[in-house]
Amino acid sequence: MKTMNQSKISSLLISSLLIIVVGLVLLLGCANINQNNTAQEIQTLKEQTATQVPCPSYAIQIMPNYIINADGSGSWTADCYGAVYKCAQGGKDNQSTTCEQTLPVPVK
């Protein structure tokens, strides 16, 4: 026969496992959605960058540390044939994109 403490521990363990399983399901579902958004976001950033730099969008690589905010503003680093550009975009009121070439990082 189980004691009251054993019942409470069993109940707590089951509840904890259920929370973990639900969290994993939600996390995996969101990860799949974010992958699709990420590909679309990167393509958009390539196209926006191409309007500001002398490179076609297909030749532009967007570094993974880009930031896109809920209001549409953001910043990112783009590389095109070894030239590195820091780009930014304003929010909903100012959607203009600007890119400025930075000095390349020396290879060691």
- Whats the size of the chain, residue-wise? 108
Structure pTM? 0.61
Q: How far is CA 30 from CA 5, 24, 44, 84, 90, in A?
A: 37, 10, 21, 31, 27
Is residue 26 left, alpha or beta, with left meaning phi > 0 and alpha meaning psi from -120 to 50? alpha
Angstrom distance (rounded) from CA 63 to CA 107: 17
| Residue 82, both tokens | 């070894």
Phi, psi values for residue 28, rounded to 5°: -65, -40
pLDDT for 29-79, tens place per residue? 444 334 446 899 999 999 999 999 999 999 999 999 999 998 889 999 999
